Chain A
Amino acid sequence: MFCVQCEHTIRTPQGNGCSFAQGMCGKTAEVSDLQDMLVHLLQAVSLYAQAARKVGVVDTEIDEYVPQAFFATLTNVNFDPARIVAFSERAEGFRNRLKKQYLEACKVQGVKPEKLPAAADYQLPNAKAVMLSDALQFALNRQKKEVGEDVIGLRLLCLYGLKGAAAYMEHARVLGQTDVEVASKYHDFMAFLATDPSDMGALFQCAMDIGMLNYRIMQMLDTGETESFGHPEPTRVNMRPVAGKAILVSGHDYHDLKLILEQTEGRGINVYTHGEMLPAHAYPAFKKYSHLVGNYGTAWQNQQKEFAAFPGSIVMTSNCIINPEVGQYGARIFTRSIVGWPGVVHIDGDDFSAAIDAALAMQGFATDEPQHYTTTGFARNALMQAAPAVIDQVKAGNIKHFFLIGGCDGDKAQRTYYTDLAKAVPDDSIILTLACGKFRFNDLEFGDINGIPRFLDVGQCNDAYSAIQLALALADAFDCGVNDLPLSLVLSWFEQKAIVILLTLLALGIRDIRVGPTAPGFLTPNLVGILNQQFGLKLISTVEQDLNDILQAA
């Protein structure tokens, strides 16, 4: 195996990446290799999809399938080898269908079929042992010796960034948002990466183009969420349990939460959000359910302890899942969509009876715990509505700086930096946050500046789109560029969604972003240097040093 896609990857002086029996996430070498093979097959699909489009063949079912299957290879999504093989078999079937459609269209139009790279026609072996043997040649660090570490690093920056974009495409698709042009660009990038490109300029441009594509995808997802569930409104959310039977809904998929709320209504079950599902409380479509009682737990890395103590069933709608056997709740956790864990019941279709029955069979919470609240829901509309008041306070000198402190959480000890930073920013600063990194400080009291809360939870990771809209509005109001605003982005990353959001911000020209707790393992020091030179991208250092540098530069 070779996998270097998450922040947790093994790092040694000899090189970065999990390349032995298991990944640091618990993914076995078998699953990792099968995922490499799936990526190879998805690239084969894209090679044919790209060629087919040139003769007018567009197969939207296939367009919608490929990002979904690609999503299964993100960190902490699918650990089930049988499911990965099934995704690969379906990908091969779709590739064959596209190939047939393509060749028929060429024949009808009198066009000579293109000679595609050999990867386009890879035949999936029948036996898993042969798949694993084949998969060795698809390792993502192949050709390292020939092309060098920088090229491999850029290839991975593109591939991992595209994985993040694919995940958001799938989230948007669930909400009815698809776009043929977006799908075309996705295929272009996958097909390009299938050729093992080694031109650093072309790869760098590809990374920026993926970032711009993701901006459009986040916009689609924003549309899907607001059209389906309304515009989020600032909402106080109880972070403590209340007495009664319980279901916990984790991941990012609001559509699943809606189905669960509908199916549990009147059943005597309280529904809780977990992790990235917390911002759901701010949407009108969910606020109307009185049995959506609060949020339970914190960020994904604490789930083994928190889920073990949860006296009900748990539904994992998307990333991040980690080994449920450690906390021995494998029998009462259920996976959805692209998520998988060997032996865990997977819910296909829209019937959540299995999870509901499991919740009813459990004792639930015996008592109410003292309530403790956080506020969420400062998404696009709420921010835009607040913008005039915010601008007034900036002009009056009462708000001097904005910090966006957010991103993925993780279990590295140095992530206390983000808590310490949030505590240390001056009182005349506003803190915007998003994604599960917020759990590092969203239980703290930050107060307000003349009625404007100092702590604004924008939402999920994809709601970076809302934060960008606020930045653009402020830049417009002050007649300056976004980089001229007293706005500092201090991001935490763990996996590929964070990578693509970073690419989006860089592609939009946003400079001087700080990232931590460490640089992605696939970026060489040279590549980090280039990103620093071109975008002022920096790694976090100490709170004192960074805060001093940020405020002096402002």
Chain B
Amino acid sequence: MRSSWFLLCAVAVGAAVFGLSRLVQSEYFFFAGYVVLQYIVLATAWNILGGYTGYVNFGSAAFFAIGAYASVAIYKLRTLSGVVAIDDHVLFEIPKALLVWLSDLPIPVLIVIGGMIAGLVGLGTGYLTLRLRGAFFAIATLALAVVVQTLITNWDYVGGSRGAYILRPASAPLVGNYIEYLFLIMLSLAVIAVAAARAIETSRLGYGFATIRDDELAAEASGVPTLKLKLIATTLSGAFMGMAGAPLPYYVTYLDPASGFSLAYAVNSIAMPLVGGTTTWVGPLVGAILLGTIQQIATVTISSAVNLLIVGLILIAFVIIAPNGLVGLVQGWFRKKDT
């Protein structure tokens, strides 16, 4: 199926999901649905680098938080005076009205900005770390997460360690209810992320990514510009993670480094593709829906603290029973049936 047709189908499915969701008369459903959709974007983004090229990124939370804090930084523009001065010498003044207007940018624009910043950080990270392979690359991305968290924790403008409050507008465009609006935005982003992942996978770029995962030396010898492709992967992956994080401050209304850089984002963004299967776009989608839903159910029935325990146990089970994820399990079953 052509990518444009797939995008149309994905949009149709997204529209159907939103239509059906509105039949459910529960605000909690939209709260929980937002989290599952956010994980679809995060897992799909992780898979572009980790699944397609085989470079495991432990720093997902950093890219996600960069998107979230980009939104906070823009929101906080309203608190600035607009005067730019050095030693009491005024260089220029930004009109206060402009700052207030900027601080009220709609969420889709914040998503684009968050994605661009996180994408640039991804590109920079790639330049610094992609000569490393395997565990060394993974450790470097973990270090990146620590560095970014330390910077944010010490950046007073975005609230530092005490966090920042965001006041949501009273009503939202299109649907009126703000939570439904956030759900719709995250649903749209999930559709775009999944369609983009599939388009990459079936393109020449996707073939190039797969050669890097299979054998980087052989890929280079076949003429694949591996460094360039890896930089594209880190940029795209980082950008989508940042996009997933950008609406977060408006969802939680209070953001501090502990929640923005939560271990849950790093663990889930890896566990979901691994459970679903890392070599295709379907894997992260299935893994995120499965694990995300289980976690939401566990939150309301058992405890929110048990979430990561469940993820850990499922991950261990899959590593033993289905190391190639659910998709690999099904593919293997069909292969056996054919032979």
The answer on A and B forming one complex is no
A interface with B by C-beta (< 8 Å): none
B interface with A by C-beta (< 8 Å): none
